[in-house]
Structure formats: structure tokens, C-alpha cells
Amino acid sequence: MNKKRSSGKPHRRELTPADHDLSADEIRSGLKSRFWKEIVCCRSVSSTNDIGLSLPLDDNREQTGIAIVADNQEKGRGRFARVWFSPPGLNIYLSIVLRPDLPPANAPYLTILAALASAAALYGETGIQVSIKWPNDLLMSGRKVGGILTEARTVQGVLTRAVIGIGINLNSGAALLPPEISGKATSVLIETGSTASRARVIASIMNEFEARYKKLQAIGVFPLVRELRPLLSCLGRKVVVMDGASKISGFVEDIDDEGRLVLLLPSGRRRTVGSGEIAETGDR
């Protein structure tokens, strides 16, 4: 158990350029603009999302985006409080901190945005088209290569902070995958046979993120939905959507203009679902 965590503060050890290849300068050299105000590179953290949630921010919207990157996470987490496999030196653990001009109910758009940005960056790096298991899983060859965990803070109904955590299995080989995920997970190394530069892929994700974020703020969610539709792994399939205690079975007809699943239920009625986790049954 990490002693610093027990004090309630997220644990963070800074990387120095001398002791690791993953440096803020290297990431910055791959960025296309000055949108990014700060890049914090850490050797070991509890979770980059914890750092993002605890960073002091002032009220200036322009102060963000901030990117937190770590070599290693001791308590990396996924959705539904699952453990996120976070070995040192190999994979991407990135959290983007923003103060978006969005109603809190639209925070899930940021998950879609991050999934699309990551898919585009991975395509640019590997030439492999990533599909998206709605709403937040990145798949290569039908196996999970990455995931997104968005956590938001609101004050009096205003979204004051969004932390969008992106985890990508980049350079971990098959032998390293824990047995509980080895049948369902993959990595870029497993899929391509080559290692990739973490700094280059992180910079590419940030560039892709920035372009889509600017569109979201200027035009709205429609361009994201249009980009998401052909990448969805569940379109035209039977799924079960689990959300807390509720379980809904249906056939995925489409996504609506807000990125929610449109399900055709066995009764013939339609139902729109905005959150949850899907299990694909494999049936069409």
C-alpha cells in the first residue's frame, strides 16, 4: 500500500528528463499548436485521473488544457471501479484536464471525443482501423486495446472540470497481460509486432483531441456522431446493455444525434440508451 495515498492526496513522483524517455519536451515537440498550456510528466502516480482531479485550477477557462502523463500507475482504474492494467515503461496513461463550456449532462461527449481521437492517432501510427465498443472501449481485432474514463466535477450545475483519462496498451507483450484480461485484451505491439514511441502517440492523441474539441465547442456534437457511426462495433448487432441493476436487450439500429444507442427491443418498441456497458451477443 502506498503510504502517500493514505493521507488522501494522490501520489506523484515527477519524471526528470534524465531518468526516462517519456518527457514533456518530447511530447510538446509533436504538438501542432499552443492549445496545451501544461504537460505534467510523472514517473509514478496513483492514477493520472487522481492528479487531474486534484490539480489546483483557477476560474480561467483558457488555463486548460492540461495533460497529465505517467510512466506507471499504482492504482490505475477503469469504469465501474475496475483495475486498469498499468505496468511501467510500456503503455499510455494520459489524463486531459479541461474546463469545457458544456452542460454537465453533455460530459459523455468528451468520452466519445477521446475515443475518436485515440482511434485516429492509433490509425496514424499503425494503419489499423480501431473500432469503438460504445461508449468507451477501443478495439483492435475485436479485443480491447484501450479505454476512456471521464470524470467530471460540477459546482451549482456548472461543469467546472472534466478529466478525461485515456489508457492505451501500447508496448506490453502478450505474456504480460494478466490472465483475467488476456482473452479479451490486446496491445499495439501484439497487433503489429512493433513497439511504438509513447511520446509520439501521446502527442498525436492530443492533436486529434484538440481538433475535435474545437469543433465540439464551435459546432456541437454532430461531427463526432458522424465520425463515430462507422467505427461502432455494435451497430446492427444484438446487445445487452447493463447500467447498474438494469439490463436491456435489443438490436442496435443506430446512434442518435447525441451519440446514444437506439435499440430495437424484442417487443418492437424503440429505446434510446445514453449510458451503460454493452455485451455484444454476436448475433445480427
Which residues lie near ligand BTN (CB under 6 A)?
A: 47-49, 73, 76-79, 82, 84, 93-95, 136-137, 147-149, 165-167
Our CB check for ligand BTN shows the closer of 79 and 271 to be 79
Our CB check for ligand BTN shows the closer of 102 and 138 to be 138
Name the residue whose CB lies closest to ligand BTN.
147
Minimum distance, C-beta of residue 282 to ligand BTN, in the bound complex (Å)? 21
Contact criterion met (CB below 8 Å) for 111 and 148? yes
Minimum distance, C-beta of residue 268 to ligand BTN, in the bound complex (Å)? 33
Q: For the chain, where are the E strands, in sequence order?
A: 12-14, 38-45, 66-73, 92-98, 131-133, 137-140, 143-155, 158-168, 238-243, 246-255, 261-264, 270-273, 277-280
Distance CA 133, CA 141 (A): 12
Our CB check for ligand BTN shows the closer of 148 and 231 to be 148
Minimum distance, C-beta of residue 46 to ligand BTN, in the bound complex (Å)? 8
For residue 200, the surrounding DSSP H or E stretch is helix 198-218
Residue with cell 494520459: 94
Our CB check for ligand BTN shows the closer of 5 and 79 to be 79
Minimum distance, C-beta of residue 139 to ligand BTN, in the bound complex (Å)? 11
Distance CA 259, CA 44 (A): 35
Task: Report in angstroms the alpha-carbon separations of 130 from 20, 48, 96, 101, 125.
Answer: 29, 24, 21, 29, 11
Our CB check for ligand BTN shows the closer of 93 and 251 to be 93
Bridge partners (DSSP) of residue 247 are 242
Return the number of other C-beta atoms located less than 10 Å from residue 154's C-beta.
13
Bridge partners (DSSP) of residue 133 are 137
Our CB check for ligand BTN shows the closer of 10 and 251 to be 10
Our CB check for ligand BTN shows the closer of 76 and 250 to be 76
Distance CA 49, CA 262 (A): 30
Minimum distance, C-beta of residue 103 to ligand BTN, in the bound complex (Å)? 23
Q: Which amino acid is at 143?
A: R
Q: Which amino acid is at 171?
A: N
Minimum distance, C-beta of residue 147 to ligand BTN, in the bound complex (Å)? 2
Minimum distance, C-beta of residue 88 to ligand BTN, in the bound complex (Å)? 13
